Structure 1
Amino acid sequence: MEFDADAVFDGAKIAGDISFNQAEISGRSLFREVKIGGNGSFDRMKVRRRVVFERAEIDGNAWFDRMNVGGRAVFDGAKIGRDACFTGMEIGGYFSFDQVGLGGDARFDRAHVSGSASFRGLRVGGQVSFPGAAFEGAALIGPMVCGRTLNLSEAVFGGAVTMEAAAAAVRCWRTRWASTAALRLRYAAVDLSDAVVEYPLSITARSRPFIVDGEELDESGLMDAGVRVMSLRGVDAAHLVLTSVDLTECLFAGTIHLDQLRLEGRYTLAAAPSGLRRRGMRPVRWTPRRTLAEEHHWRAARGWGADGWTPAPRGEEVQEPAALAPVYRQLRKAFEDGKHEPGR
């Protein structure tokens, strides 16, 4: 299917499925306010100038895999009943996904956006995935609500990033931040394992819901939990700032420059079990103190789980005291440099 000029379908209504697979459009591709009662397939569609799906409604799934757009791509206000897939998408200019609502998942695996990108007001019932995606310009991700996991694993952000998200989890395995980044989160369990932090990266727990255009985003599908950092393993913490986060379950062993980590606001570390315990005929009382999650794992593995020490998650390697001692020293220095008192 080829169009020598613009392809205009503004306001069109299609009762069932529609397919524009491998369509080639020399000008613009306009689908403003189109209504599709079934699935919409636009795989490998090539548009020389720009593509516009503003306020489009697709009741089923929407596929835009390997779509190639020379200029801008605008999906503002679109509604997709089930999943939306943009795997391998190539956008030469600006990508706008503002105020989009999806009933299922949104996948942007290996997507490449040469310009800036915006996901302001995005609402997704399932998960949002960016594994291997590359954003060369500035990226505004949110405010948004993600009912499940916001997956940024192996994504590359070449420009400044501002991310505001209410999500069940935020996964940043091997994510590369090649410019400054500010993550303001609600509810999420955050995993930064092996992330590459080249410039200042801040992660802040936000206490109040996000507001877009004067209205609070609906977070009703998310469990009421604080922001928890689950792992910093493999991360260079020299540029990392954590504010008001829960570190009770955080894995620190293997963090680089942990002594340069900045902790601000209120934060929580795992506590040693309290109260008097009995080991055979001998009473035992653990000293009240802040501990690493990894010490909990080691002591539980030695048979002290009944005393209140938390076992390691399934499949997690238990660290020995020789590996944990330098972690304690570096973390202590980070506390002291940040003017935190020992008992805080």
Structure 2
Amino acid sequence: MRVLDFDHCLEHLEPGQQDEYFRGLSLGAEVDLRGTTLSGELVGRLVDAVGSIDGRRAEFGRADFAETRFPGLAVFEDVTFFDADFTDAVFASAVRFDKAGFRDSASFLRSRFAGSVTFEGASFEQTTFEDTRFGGRVSFENAKFETDLSFSRGFPDLVSFEGAEFAGEAGFGSLRFDGRAVFRGAKFHGGARFAEARFLDCADFHGADFTTAESFGPVTAEQLIFGRATFRRRMLVDAEAPVMDCSETRFEEGATLRLGARSAVALQRTFFGKASTVMGTASVTSVEGTDVADVVFTDIDLANCRFTGAHHLDKLRLEGACTFGSYRNRQVLAEERAWRADRTAPVGPRRIADLYRQLRKAQEDSKNEPGAADFYYGEMEMRRHSPATPWSERFILHLYWLVSGYGLRALRALATLAVLIAVVSTSIWLGGFKTTPAFGDTLIYVAQSTVSLDTKLATLPKELTPFGEVLRLVMRVLGPLLLGLTLLAVRNRVKR
């Protein structure tokens, strides 16, 4: 594009003619450099010429750089544009728009940035980035967007919107982020569209503030960070990320976290202001310090979840196929597995027993009697191993565990009963009667004594020795007790 009053474009003017052109510019000048090739030196002279009056920063009126090519470093720092057009512009090297102000409209439609580009601290009133292509790192740190903003192409390298403020709707839907995407401390006052976005690296929203947004996703990411972020409306988060950090995140009106199969979410000290649901065939790794009174877990893997320090665990609702870790064919908490691997673990048996007690009630309220039975077993196990438990109580618990598995192991109770019948039968046969009967008759007699029945055998002696009376009394007490423990164990396993 030829420069006004000259026969050539700015790049091909004689040095004297270039000087004359720049001398004619002043604050608020309108420039039309469409299709021109502007070196880094020419950009610098242009900015200096427009901002030369009284040392004020450069302010362009209408600035038309459509189809302009910038082969070298282009620096537009602290420049204000009133109606800027960079449509189809090509930036072959790095470009800096730090602290630039784009008033009225600004268009980067179909622009191409081959190198890094920074808009740090820039402000945009009405800007178009449709079909803009970025080839290097991009930074919009602390930028302000006063109206809706959307991108239609992805980012091949790191992109940062740290501290950025979006007054309107922010559109990042269906984009691919090949590098790290940083939105730390960003403020989304309007909607935040990330539907179908793919983050191949980390998506960092640490400390971000979502004022009116009500949904996020569905998105996929290798790492998704919402630590200390705030969601002020009820939120639907639909995401799949092997590492998802929601520690100290605030869901002020509650949330539904719909997680993909590969997801693992940390919920330490997370605030759920109202009833919330965490669902999907994913895993939760921690709820330490979180009040879970109004939280529902649906089909969640809790095998590696740390519950220590959580509040109102007894009110946590577990629905669907929520699973825990396994130890000797029973469900166990991650804290117990860690303690069994290292007896000096920071969370010991006494605290683990408290966790089991609270979660047992949660399982009972969910009508999951088998799950509640496993947690009762875990609670008894931790009490039996806890140094804080009095020795007399620990002795009783050892016996309770040995003979029936705390009333939860039917085969163990039956085996104990069988051994007891065999021992007592042998003892009575040898010295329980004043005359020695057949061993088979003695066995029947002892078995009947177990259920408090009188024998009808005519061949059995009628008189017992004092030793035999003691053994009969033992069977009439312990026999029904062991039978009762057997039936109780069966009931706890089949009841729903």
TM over 0.5: yes
Aligned with 2:350 (options 310, 322, 325): 322
Q: Aligned with 1:88: secondary structure?
A: coil
**In the aligned structure 2, how far is the partner of 1:256 from the partner of 1:135?**
26
Report the counterpart of residue 44 of structure 1 in structure 2: 121
Q: Partner residue of 2:106?
A: 29
Question: Residue 171 of structure 2 aligns with which residue?
Answer: 96
Which secondary structure state, in structure 1, belongs to the residue aligned with residue 301 of structure 2?
coil
Residue 306 of structure 2 is aligned to residue 251 of structure 1? yes
1:262, 1:50 → 2: CA distance?
47
2:344 aligned with 1:297, yes or no?
Answer: no
In 1, are the aligned partners of 2:283 and 2:301 still within 8 Å (CA)?
A: yes
> In structure 2, how many angstroms separate the alpha carbons of the residues matched to 1:32 and 1:185?
35
AA aligned to 2:96 is S
Given candidates 237, 242, 250, the residue that maps to 2:297 is 242
User: Contact conserved, 2:161 with 2:182, CA < 8 A, in 1?
Assistant: yes
- Structure 1 61/229 Cα, relative in aligned 2: closer, same or farther at 3 Å? same
Read off the aligned partner of 2:254 and give its amino acid letter.
T
Quote the Cα distance in structure 2 between the aligned partners of 1:289 and 1:168.
27
SS of equivalent residue, structure 2 residue 360: helix
Deviation readout 1:130-177 (Å, 9 max, x if unpaired): 11111111243211111x210000001111222211211110110011
1:54 aligns with 2:146: no
Whole-Å separation in 2 of the counterparts to 1:270 and 1:105 = 33
Q: Distance in 1 between matches of 2:154 and 2:343?
A: 53
Aligned residue number for residue 142 of structure 1 = 217
The answer on whether the counterparts of 2:188 and 2:213 sit within 8 Å (CA) in structure 1 is no
Contact 2:144 2:166 in 1 (8 A): yes
Aligned partners of 1:294 and 1:318 also within 8 Å: no
Distance 1:249 1:8, change over 3 A: same
Q: In the alignment, which of 74, 78, 82 is matched to residue 153 of structure 2?
A: 78
Structure 1 pair 301/94, CA: closer, same or farther in 2 (3 Å)?
same
Q: Which has the larger radius of gyration?
A: 2
Deviation at 1:341, TM superposition (A): 2.6
CA–CA distance in 2 between the matches of 1:294 and 1:43?
46
Which of 211, 221, 244 matches 1:170?
A: 244
8 Å contact from structure 2 (residues 301, 324) kept in 1: yes
Determine the structure 2 residue equivalent to 1:156. Answer: 230
What is aligned with 1:227?
282
The one-character-per-residue Cα deviations of 1:269-292 (angstroms, maximum 9, x if unpaired) are 11113xxxxxxxxxxxxxx32111
The one of 187, 194, 206 aligned to 1:112: 187
The aligned amino acid for 2:332 is: T
The match for 1:216 is none
Q: Helix, strand or coil for the counterpart of 1:170? A: strand
Residue matched to 1:284: none
Describe the SS at the equivalent of 1:125: strand
Using a 3 Å threshold, how does the CA distance of structure 1 residues 322 and 130 change in structure 2: closer, same or farther?
Answer: same
1:335 paired residue number: 363
Task: Measure the CA separation in 1 of the matches of 2:227 and 2:346.
Answer: 24
Residue 3 of structure 1 and its aligned partner are, at CA, apart by 3.9
One-letter identity of the residue aligned with 2:342: A
3-state SS of paired residue (2:342): helix
Task: Quote the Cα distance in structure 2 between the aligned partners of 1:160 and 1:111.
Answer: 19
Give distance in 1, aligned partners of 2:305 and 2:297: 12
Matched, 1:64 2:119: no
Q: Which has the higher contact order (CA 8 A, sep 6+)?
A: 1
Q: For residue 266 of structure 1, what is the aligned residue in structure 2? A: 321
CA shift for structure 1 position 16: 2.1
In structure 2, what residue type is equivalent to 1:51?
Answer: T
Which stretch has the larger CA shift, 23-32 or 263-272? 23-32
CA distance, structure 2, for counterparts of residue 262 and residue 326 of structure 1: 17
Q: Residues 32 and 139 of structure 1: is their aligned pair in 2 closer, same or farther, counting only changes over 3 Å?
A: farther
**Of residues 265, 270, 284 in structure 2, which corresponds to 1:190?**
265
SS class of match (2:201): coil
Displacement of 1:4 in angstroms is 5.1
Letter in 1 for 2:113: I
1:121 matched residue in structure 2: 196
Provide the C-alpha distance between the structure 2 equivalents of 1:194 and 1:271, rounded to a whole number of angstroms.
Answer: 26
Secondary structure of 2:341 counterpart: helix
Distance 1:20 1:4, change over 3 A: closer
Letter in 1 for 2:195: R
- How many residues are matched? 294
- Distance in 1 of aligned mates of 2:175 and 2:95: 20
Q: Aligned-pair distance for 1:56?
A: 1.6
- In the alignment, the residues of structure 1 paired with residue 83 and residue 322 of structure 2 have an alpha-carbon distance, to the nearest angstrom, of 55
What is the TM-score of this pair, normalised by structure 1?
0.81
Separation in 1, partners of 2:298, 2:132 = 39
Task: Give the letter aligned to residue 319 of structure 2.
Answer: E
Question: Contact conserved, 2:255 with 2:272, CA < 8 A, in 1?
Answer: no
Which of the two has greater strand per residue?
1
Residue 330 of structure 1: SS of its match in structure 2?
helix
What letter matches 2:323 in structure 1? T
Give me the whole-angstrom Cα distance separating, in 2, the residues matched to 1:30 and 1:196: 41
What amino acid sits opposite 1:173 in the alignment?
S
* CA-based RMSD: 1.7
In the alignment, is the contact (CA less than 8 A) between 2:109 and 2:130 conserved in 1? yes
Name whichever of 25-34 and 240-249 sits farther off: 25-34
Which letter maps to 2:237?
M
Give the Cα–Cα distance (whole angstroms) in 2 for the partners of residues 162 and 10 of structure 1.
Answer: 37
Tell me the SS of whatever aligns to 1:241: strand
Report the 3-state secondary structure (helix = DSSP H, G, I; strand = E; otherwise coil) of the residue aligned with 2:104. Answer: coil
How far apart are the structure 1 equivalents of 2:159 and 2:186?
A: 13
Deviation track 1:24-67 (CA, whole Å, cap 9, x = no partner) reads 122133222222111121111112x2333222210111100000
